[in-house]
Amino acid sequence: MRHRISVGHGLLLRCPFLFFLHLTCWHSAPAQSTVGTVTLSQAIEATLRQHPLLHIQEEQVRSNRGALRRAQSQFDRAIQSNALASHTYSPLTEIERSLFTGVSANTLLSSVDVSATQQFRNGISAGPVLSVTRLTDNLGAQNGLNQSHVAFQVNMPCYVAAAERIRFRAAISMR
């Protein structure tokens, strides 16, 4: 059911609310007409659409959503990687030249590290770690020395460890 409000100029001057509605809802009234028709739902919708406090509250909701996403991002999975390559040139001394062939020691080192960690709500973080290293030189490791390290790392903050010890002691004392 639609309600209709008939608004005339005499009534507008006596009721400030209707005058406000007339200013906000009256879009293009003909110059010769003195009476216009606005439905109640149109009047309420126009009033709410232009209310500044509603716009402020909408922006506050957007800001709160952003703050929530930022707080939750602390617990996102973190993937880290590192690559290293180095070349070292060291001239040999007279004694070293008599032991090894060549005039210098050339060392090549290559290393790649990758890890993925997940922090939990209790402060503990855990995840796999992979490290691969290759070392070659012209004196001792001409064929190269390869090393790899695979691990699962768990980091526990001190305050969490202390709280766990207290709970463990309490559980033992209750037996």
Go through the domains of the chain in sequence order and give each one's CATH number.
Answer: 4-71 (no CATH), 75-173 (2.20.200)
Determine the pLDDT at residue 68. 83
Q: Which residues contact 116 (CB under 8 A, 6 or more apart)?
A: 77, 78, 79, 80, 127, 128
Predicted TM-score of the model (pTM): 0.47
Please name the residues in contact with 3: beta carbons below 8 A apart, sequence gap of 6 or more: 39, 40, 41
CA 172 to chain centre: 41
pLDDT in tens, 42-88: 888 888 888 888 888 888 888 888 888 887 777 788 889 999 999 88
Instruction: Report the pLDDT value the prediction gives residue 22, as an integer from 0 to 100.
Output: 54
* Mean pLDDT to the nearest integer, 153-173: 74
Q: Among 29-38, 56-65, 161-170, whose mean pLDDT is lowest?
A: 29-38
Backbone angles phi, psi at 93, to 5 degrees: -80, 175
**pLDDT at 85 (0 to 100):** 93
Mean pLDDT of 29-40: 67
Is residue 130 very low, low, confident or very high in pLDDT (cuts 50, 70, 90)? very high
